[in-house]
Chains A and B, each alone.
Chain A
Amino acid sequence: MNLNINFTLLAPEILLTVLAFVVIIMGLLISNKSKNMLGYISAAGILASIVYIVGNGMIANVSYFYDSIVVDPLSQIFKLIFLIVSLMAVIASIEYFKDNHNQDEYYALILMSTVGMMVVASANDLIALFVGFELASMSTYVLAGFEKKNPASLEAALKYFIIGSLSSALMLFGMSLIYGITSTTNIPGIIEFFKTAPLMAESSLGLLAMVFLVAGFGFKMALVPFHMWAPDTYEGSPSVISSLLAAGSKKMGFVAAFRVLVLALFAIRADVQFVFAILAIITMTYGNIVALSQRSIKRMLAYSSIAQAGYIALAFVVMTPMSIAGGIVLALGHALMKGGAFIAVAVVGYMVLSDNKNAKNIDDLDNFAGLGKRAPITALGFFVFFLALAGIPPSAGFIGKLLLFYSITVEAISLSSSWLLLIVVIAILNSALSIYYYARVIKYMYVLPPKGEKIKEPAAYVVAILIAIVGTIGIGLYPEPFINMATNAAQVVLGV
């Protein structure tokens, strides 16, 4: 337990926290008209953090604050995910909220939620983990309801808030049980304790703690059966916030599960892997099947996001370095694809509202007819994101799925286990199934005739979508550095 006073590696968190306060204070001082600049400032701060993390510490391994915060490859790659998502969300918000007078609160909340997610990524102590979770959740509750006059947005926020609080309570209860068993909140300490006293983990108390933790993280990850809030929330929230929620805050559950569950609990109880296999299979199948019948694109994206969480959860099934690396690459890819797709929905909303100010159901499939002609860049974005989500090469979605399925197959062969092979087959069939609902939207965009004139796509949206397109295809074309980063992170997860 050393007190490390060299905080340079925490500079991004510090920068963003300070920036959040600066944005709020500036909001008080400047006129409503010039509040647009706050978006640019926030984007610049996030961009600086990304550059800093990439430049300075992808492979660092330092701990701070009496070992409650660590900076290691696992935390860094997830921070990168969160930062990229919030960068896209902020850039798109510059357009989305340009006429809103409360932009100062809005950007401050986005920055705070980003800091919360980053704390979760770095947390090495259950308390720090919980604080990070709450910081991110509280901020996003408000963000989800930020369109105050839109009942759907309020409903989304309320549902998200109630279920989110419940999941926080469950998680906290699980943590208190763990503390009761091990008398420490330090994660490596917990692991150490369970290793020396494996019987405690097998006790009914240990089992109960694990169930609560799985449920708590499961709510964040939106795994079936903890998913009910996700479609309503993603559908009702402002599209840019849906992008932040689906692409970013969902990954908090995964990084927490990687850090806490994998070592502390799974290492001792092998049958938990089986539980996660079932959860993953049910989640992806449910998500894909329900997505088939959706006409609201945001709902379809929400269910597809549930399905993707199912794929990522496959990483917990075999827990080899490669499977966890695959899960992380898919999480990174999903952040780009889903984040980009929700922002592209925002463009469609902009387009529909500029046709008709009082339009309802702006994300209805019918509004996508002829999008390829009306908004070519947005349509291209959807095309890339959807094919990537379906796992078509060369894309980040493809590489992530490939690594996951591949690693499970290798494990199945080396253990000659037929149920693992069965899981791969089900997952592949799921991918094939998902092509249907993605291809349907693509058909609407490119084959059906347009319903209106070509629009000028706002520059902010275009920039955000292009970031996501370049990232999605870039990882697909040149995956090796990302696989290496994810493999480094996976070694942290497995304690190698």
Chain B
Amino acid sequence: MVGLISLMILISLAGALITFLAKTREQARTIAIITSGISLAISLVIFSNFNSSISTIQFLESYSWIPSIGVTLKFGLDGIGMPLVLLANIIIPLTVIFAWGETKQANRFYGLILLELTGVMGVFTSLDFFVFYIFWEIVLIPMYFLISIWGGPKKEYAAIKFFIYTHVASLVMLLAIFAMYFNSLDITGKASFDMFQLLKSYQVMDGDLIKGVISLKDAVFIGLLFGFIVKMPAVPFHTWLPDAHVEAPTAGSVILAALLLKMGGYGLFRVILPILPYSESPSIMITLMAIIGVVSILYGTFLALAQRDLKKMVAYSSISHMGYVTLGAAALVPLSVSGAMYQQFSHGLITGILFMSCGVIQHSAGTRIIHDLGGIAKYMPKLTFIMLLGFLASLGLPGMSGFIAEFLVLVNSYFTLPTFVILALFGIVFTAGYHLWAMQRAVFGTYNEKLGHIHDGANYEIASMAILVLLVIYFGLNPNPVLNMMTVNAEQLLKYVVLRGVIT
């Protein structure tokens, strides 16, 4: 009997394959929307049956795969993975609806989108490091094609840069995983890639990678951290992101920002936090992560302020927002960690609106350069309304989901990392600044007659953005459905931290 999680993964995979074989655009998009709809329905069933007051793994499934080296197909969900699976299942159908008008190689386009769904759901649910890694890599390939076939003028450069950057990071992570695997094999005598088993064995890892320079524990920790923060991405490993976003088609950007970046953050909570207190020198690692977080927040903000291209600005704002995730995770306070998790969920929804807005503008005005736009509100009232709500959510207006996440992170991180929080607070001012400034220059003011006559977004585009806006407002007013389970898991994660006396 197949469990609900693997059913969800299998359906999206099968949907992807069928979509590839579809003959016409009509067939392809119908299959894509039906499949992602079924997957969404299953995820809602899981979500409604999910017990958010316990921190243990639920909906656990386990199938033997390669017993000779201890690989098991093990899937399950807890408060860390559940919201992200839900997010993936919200974003993908909306992306399909948004990209309803795609004409170029439609069967491949929709097929690759569904393949992304398969990949990210696999990452968020697999509890076996080997399978986790496979899904982690599977996600790369469709994104490479989405950028390199449907992308902008410099698509090939952007696609290969994206691929190489994140692939190298994954390889480093793979080495760390294997080090943990062999360590566990050494200790227990049992070959197993079970995630919790490996994380547990890490606690008693010893030895040096290079004697006197770096211990094995630290090397593994840094290897894993590197794999995750490149994906997030955090400064200074962020340079692939703006290129990829600028060249990617809108659907690709939405998936990249809303789902792929979240894989990095997910890794922080699933892998990094459980082993952090056991690393050789936790306080140095915490400081390292906090610096990465704050620098990402500030640097991303300032770069966003300087951008001429609206989409590039949104890309840098992603870097800045993902900085809150790193900062909240490094603060190791239950509410800051759950705030960081909530930031992941909320940013996934908000960034979808922002990238879709950029897509609509590009589509109808033919440019995204802020300077060349101006006053488009006159002809695009529906887009303007939704885009304004999205921008306000992104800058952290109370009543929207972004506010709750950033508020939780900043307030609670102050307990343990006061200096860093004060620095990050400066970022808020500029965040509000670049959002409003961009809106003012591009959307409001006098109409730039050079643009000619432009039209508003298509109904399916506006509809999918409107759904996202409603969700952002809903989760801004009532965060509990997902925040509760996050808090429960954050408290569970931090038990070890307190136990080890890393934070008093």
Contact = CB atoms under 8 A, between A and B. Distances in A.
Given A406-B69, A480-B67, A480-B68, A446 B149 contact: yes
A479 B182 contact: no
A322 B134 CA distance: 22
Nearest to B148: A447
Given A394-B134, A443-B148, A483-B66, A413 B156 contact: no
A409 B177 CA distance: 13
B145 interface: yes
A393 interface: yes
Interface in B119-137: 134, 137
Contact of B134 (A393, A410, A432): A393
B186 interface: yes
A281 interface: no
A402 interface: yes
Given A394-B134, A413-B182, A432-B171, A446 B69 contact: no
A402 B71 CA distance: 12
B148 A409 contact: no
B137 A392 contact: yes
Given A393-B134, A479-B66, A480-B66, A410 B156 contact: no
A429 to B, nearest CB: 9
Nearest to B171: A432
Nearest to B69: A406
Nearest to A425: B175
Contacts of A439: 163
Contacts of A322: 68
Contacts of A435: 167
Given A483-B66, A483-B68, A409 B137 contact: no
Nearest to A402: B69
A479 B134 CA distance: 15
Most A C-beta atoms less than 10 A away, residue of B67, B68, B134, B167: B68
B47 interface: no
B178 interface: yes
B66 A413 contact: no
Contact of B149 (A399, A447, A480): A447
A391 to B, nearest CB: 11
B145 A410 contact: no
B145 A446 contact: yes
Interface residues of A, number: 22
A381 to B, nearest CB: 14
A409 B134 contact: no
A483 B69 CA distance: 10
- Residue of B66, B149, B156, B167 most packed against chain A (CB within 10 A): B66
B156 A447 contact: yes
Interface in A97-155: none
Nearest to B175: A428
A34 B178 CA distance: 58
Nearest to B21: A376
Contacts of B66: 399, 479-480, 483
Contacts of B137: 392-393
Contacts of A446: 145, 148-149
B137 to A, nearest CB: 7
B182 A410 contact: yes
A2 B148 CA distance: 66
B457 to A, nearest CB: 29
A282 to B, nearest CB: 23
Contacts of B178: 409
A373 to B, nearest CB: 8
B68 A443 contact: no
A413 B186 CA distance: 9
B182 A409 contact: yes
Contacts of B148: 443, 446-447
A428 B68 CA distance: 21
A443 B156 contact: yes
A443 B156 CA distance: 9
Interface in A398-412: 399, 402-403, 406, 409-410
Interface string B59-72: 00000011111000
Interface in A468-496: 479-480, 483, 487
Contacts of A402: 69
A77 to B, nearest CB: 16
A232 B20 CA distance: 38
A127 to B, nearest CB: 37
A487 B185 CA distance: 20
A428 B167 CA distance: 13
Nearest to B186: A413
Nearest to A383: B141
A23 to B, nearest CB: 38
A330 to B, nearest CB: 15
Most chain A CB within 10 A, of B69, B134, B149, B171, is at B69
A380 to B, nearest CB: 9
A420 to B, nearest CB: 13
B83 to A, nearest CB: 28
* Shortest beta-carbon contacts, A-B, top 9: A393-B134, A447-B148, A483-B68, A479-B66, A447-B149, A413-B182, A480-B66, A406-B69, A409-B182
Interface of A: 322, 392-394, 399, 402-403, 406, 409-410, 413, 428, 432, 435, 439, 443, 446-447, 479-480, 483, 487
Given A393-B134, A439-B163, A487-B68, 18 more contacts: A392-B137, A393-B137, A394-B134, A399-B66, A403-B69, A406-B69, A410-B185, A413-B186, A428-B171, A432-B167, A435-B167, A443-B148, A443-B156, A446-B148, A447-B145, A447-B156, A479-B66, A483-B66
26 contacts: A322-B68, A392-B137, A393-B134, A393-B137, A394-B134, A399-B66, A402-B69, A403-B69, A409-B178, A410-B185, A413-B182, A413-B186, A428-B171, A432-B167, A435-B167, A443-B156, A446-B145, A446-B148, A446-B149, A447-B148, A447-B149, A447-B156, A480-B67, A480-B68, A483-B66, A487-B68
